[in-house]
Structure 1
Amino acid sequence: MSGQNPDEAKGWDAMRVLMDGLGLVESPRWHDGRLYFADWTAGEVIALGGDGASEVFARVPSLPLCIAWPPGDGRLLIVDSPNGRLLRREPGGQLVTRAELGQPGWNDIAADHRGNVFVNRVDFDVMRGAEARPGAVFVAAADGSVRQEADDIAFPNGMAVTADGATLVVADSYRHHLLGFDIGADGGLSNRRVWADLGDGVPDGICLDAEGAAWYADVPHRRCVRVAEGGRVLASVELDRGAFACALGGSTLFITAAIWNGMTEAEMVAPGSGRVLAVEVGVPGR
């Protein structure tokens, strides 16, 4: 573990392993005192409490399997990628269709306070080694409609909405950028720009903190990196395996990580190598 910001690094405790022996773990989200994340290998959404107790919160055999908690709504949203559906978990545990997305290939998800849900799509079969084609971001609006709002994203990955609901930040893994879009009242995206140039960074899952900086997980470089808008590196947490995604709960940075074998391998991560990690950082979540 290393930090470019000495003042922040002084506040870090030792990294903790909260869960081990998992598969390809992704999409961590902090909600109401618990960490929720997806084990893509098992097709499960798991809830992990501060006391270490865990439960399977939902089962959806989807790869990818990404989740989001809409602000002010106690119902989890789940992307069922192969079936092209946006699901909502009701309080009793049943899963209902929030929106029909259509064709497969859906990846990450983020939501704003207006009821707009953003879902991005990779437009080629990654696991079969198909030739790469740029993907897109769609919005599932509050009225139930689904429409494309951004295109030409080489490999759309993690997404997050700023605290004021004004900006959607999207990771483009292949172009080593975080992109920014202004969000309209109806979920329309405009004013596309490079929010942060990451140099050789390969962003996967992302989260934003209370100072407006972004943490991004980086699988090939085995790290999570905190960057300011523009790309200045503020801190870095080094791992012994690929970092797939991250989330902030208070001043705790939660990281999902596993030993990466490769996208086209039968086992994309080493079986049982998935972990949920935690480290204390200097700036809390937003």
Structure 2
Amino acid sequence: MDTIAATVRLAVRAEARVGEGPVWDPGSGRLHWVDILAGAVHTSDLANGWTTTRVLPTLVGAVSPKRTGGLVAAVTEGFADVSDEYVVRQHVLGDGIRMNDAKCDPDGRFWAGSTAMDFAAGRGALHVLEADWSTRVVLDGLTQPNGLGWSPDGRTFYLADTAEREISAFDVFGNQLAGRRLLCSFADSDVPDGLCVDAAGCLWVALWGGGRLVRIAPDGRMLSTLRVPVVQPSSCAFVGPDLDLLCVTSACEGIEPADNAEDGTSYDGSVLIVAGLGVSGVPVAGFAG
């Protein structure tokens, strides 16, 4: 694979245990992202690096802006409304299960993958939250559902299962999936985590523990790799007014600063911005509820 030459800079200096779920909010011009294990929901102004934080009384996998204001969150218990008050509106998960990554589809539904706390095989599922806050399980028998994304035309859905080291593609019919097929698989040393899709229909996938992202064609071909100065890149999203900047979250859980500190400074747990990629992202809809 080709190595991408791009400019990588520090956007938000942080020490997130597991930074995840970056999502651009075009209404406020800010980035929302979470620290799963800390239950922290961060909102960052990327122009100056300022961040405000709200800590929830639970683990939080991801959030999305609501079209009516505030945020919807995928949390340990299920789905929560994070507005003036914090309210879990759908308790859909049992003991030992939590929500992981989540994202809105083009119609404003909020899709979230659940996983066992110990990542036990087959105990995960894919859930969808409708605008009226009703839910349904779309897919079960998963292990560690993680990165989610849709093709630019909204007709194909992508889902990474981190523990299984694979990404699947599906045909989309509203809130239903069909035609599951393996898009690509990874070696044991490559751990696919969060992902996003660019306007050309290619996937950008963070490789946890690999210090890089890969760009994958819609047919599953590995096109190129992007190295980043963190050991554990966790997810990515296109951000900025023109969606031409790639935001990369990361995690410091389980690693020593010396593992990735050539100049004595570790960026693990921080948020990075990548410029000069020559591609842009697809707008992500807010939650319609």
Q: Same fold (TM over 0.5)?
A: yes
Aligned equivalents of 1:283, 1:198: Cα separation in 2: 24
1:56 equivalent to 2:52? Answer: yes
* Cα offsets for 1:123-146 (capped at 9, x unmatched): x332xxx75335221222334332
Match of residue 181, structure 1, among 152, 170, 191: 170
Give 2:12's aligned residue.
19
Match of residue 193, structure 1, among 176, 181, 189: 181
Aligned partners of 2:81 and 2:89 also within 8 Å: yes
Distance 1:190 1:143, change over 3 A: farther
Match of residue 248, structure 1, among 233, 238, 244: 238
Give the TM-score normalised by structure 1.
0.81
Match of residue 78, structure 1, among 52, 56, 73: 73
Give 1:155's aligned residue.
144
Shift of 1:215: 0.6
Shift of 1:175: 2.3
1:40 equivalent to 2:36? Answer: yes
Aligned equivalents of 1:134, 1:96: Cα separation in 2: 25
3-state SS in 2 of match to 1:282: coil
Aligned equivalents of 1:190, 1:69: Cα separation in 2: 28
Match of residue 107, structure 1, among 100, 108, 118: 100
Aligned partners of 2:121 and 2:142 also within 8 Å: no
| Corresponding letter in the other structure for 2:278 | G
Aligned equivalents of 1:4, 1:68: Cα separation in 2: 33
Distance 1:140 1:273, change over 3 A: same
* CA root-mean-square deviation: 2.6
| Corresponding letter in the other structure for 1:278 | I
Give the TM-score normalised by structure 2.
0.80
Give 2:64's aligned residue.
68
Identity of aligned residues (%): 28
Unaligned runs of 5+ in 2: 256-265, 283-289
Unaligned runs of 5+ in 1: 263-270
Aligned partners of 2:63 and 2:74 also within 8 Å: yes
Aligned equivalents of 2:124, 2:194: Cα separation in 1: 16
3-state SS in 1 of match to 2:13: strand
Give 1:285's aligned residue.
281
Shift of 1:172: 1.1
Aligned equivalents of 1:76, 1:69: Cα separation in 2: 4
| Corresponding letter in the other structure for 1:195 | L
